[in-house]
């Protein structure tokens, strides 16, 4: 997953602010030019319309918590948000019903199995285990405010639009294509129902979840949405308080543990940022207190993560000192005790 052209970048140990704006912009542009020539990966085709994506598209955006935007490449190209939506719907649900209820109903532990695993449900007495796998995401979507499926869908769309700072549109072609091929999700939803783990009618909740995944975003949108989580729920562009700081903390902890599915440990080890990917080629990675990265490039590796996107995230995490676990020794002060 991580190549030598990324691992050779010196690790900048930083626990404070980002470097000056000109340096951040320079590094974002450098990351884009460095990885744009990469041709590895395959565009997703299990949702037929996704196979039409241009493999040469590559957008990279970094939004700071003060609203400063640094971008390079195809950052206004639209694509369906797909599984990245799970992170922000989780935040909305935590804000609506609270930390304890989400923990009790959905869970927060990594399954160690693929995102669409049925076995994980059976092994855990029907518990979805976490909101980032499909079972947990469908169960989480079903917890959105609203007495009907349409009310829940409106709440999802309105909530994700508040994160992005603009009204997000539904891609009807993606919705039709995905609805025609989501038999596995329907089976997962039926299994959740059989265990008493799903609120609402199975087919309706799958439909809301499918619409949720079909919302159109850009790399800039993802960076703004991630920067909202990075700054205690305050959107850096609109200055609207979308969710509470406590909800951001809970959401980012789940992303760190489960956001990249069974490779979450490897991602955290190498990059050190809470993150979420989607099969359309998007990635959002969040540096709390600093900002967020939004990347878009359709070719994926075997785990379903954007090849260019993850390399750019790894490069910028190292070059900008974004890794949550990076630090530098504190300078010795007069009066410090000798070892």
Question: Which member of 61, 83, 177, 317 is catalytic?
Answer: 83
Question: Which member of 279, 284, 286, 307 is catalytic?
Answer: 279
Question: Which member of 63, 93, 209, 297 is catalytic?
Answer: 209
Question: Annotation-wise, does 185 bind a ligand?
Answer: yes
CB neighbours (10 Å) of residue 58?
27
Q: Would you mind telling me the total number of residues written for the chain in this entry? A: 339
Question: Annotation-wise, does 315 bind a ligand?
Answer: no
83 catalytic per annotation? yes
Phi-psi group of 303: left, alpha or beta (phi > 0 → left; psi -120 to 50 → alpha; rest → beta): alpha
For residues 54 and 242, give the distance between their C-alpha atoms in angstroms, rounded to a whole number.
33
Question: Which member of 61, 86, 133, 307 is catalytic?
Answer: 86
Question: Annotation-wise, does 83 bind a ligand?
Answer: yes
279 catalytic per annotation? yes
Q: Detail the residues annotated as belonging to a binding site for substrate.
A: 83, 134, 178, 185, 209, 261, 279
Residues involved in catalysis: 83, 86, 209, 261, 279
Residues within the annotated binding site?
Answer: 83, 134, 178, 185, 209, 261, 279
């Amino acid at each position: 997953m991580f190549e030598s052209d990324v691992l050779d970048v010196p690790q900048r140990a930083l626990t404070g602010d980002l470097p000056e704006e000109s340096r951040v912009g320079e590094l974002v542009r450098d990351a884009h030019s460095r990885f744009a020539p990469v041709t590895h990966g395959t565009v997703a085709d299990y949702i037929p319309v996704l196979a039409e994506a241009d493999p040469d598209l590559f957008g990279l955006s970094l939004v700071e918590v003060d609203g400063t935007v640094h971008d390079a490449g195809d950052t206004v190209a639209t694509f369906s948000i797909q599984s990245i939506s799970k992170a922000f719907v989780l935040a909305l649900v935590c804000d609506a019903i609270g930390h304890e209820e989400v923990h009790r109903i959905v869970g927060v532990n990594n399954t160690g199995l693929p995102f669409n695993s049925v076995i994980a449900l059976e092994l855990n007495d029907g518990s979805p285990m976490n909101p980032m796998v499909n079972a947990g995401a469908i169960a989480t979507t079903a917890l959105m405010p609203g007495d009907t499926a349409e009310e829940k869908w409106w709440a999802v769309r309105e909530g994700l639009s508040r994160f992005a700072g603009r009204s997000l549109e539904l891609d009807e072609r993606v919705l039709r294509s995905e609805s025609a091929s989501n038999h596995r999700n329907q089976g997962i939803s039926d299994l959740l129902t059989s265990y008493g783990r799903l609120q609402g009618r199975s087919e309706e909740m799958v439909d809301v979840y499918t619409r949720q995944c079909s919302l159109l975003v850009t790399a800039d949108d993802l960076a703004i949405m991630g920067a909202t989580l990075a700054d205690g729920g305050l959107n850096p562009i609109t200055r609207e308080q979308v969710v509470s700081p406590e909800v951001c903390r809970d959401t980012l902890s789940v992303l760190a543990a489960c956001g990249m599915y069974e490779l979450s440990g490897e991602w955290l080890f190498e990059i050190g940022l809470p993150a979420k990917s989607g099969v359309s080629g998007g990635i959002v990675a969040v540096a709390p207190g600093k900002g967020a990265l939004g990347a878009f490039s359709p070719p994926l590796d075997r785990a379903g993560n954007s090849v260019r996107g993850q390399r750019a995230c790894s490069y910028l995490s190292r070059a900008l000192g974004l890794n949550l676990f990076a630090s530098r020794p504190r300078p010795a002060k007069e009066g410090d005790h000798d070892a």
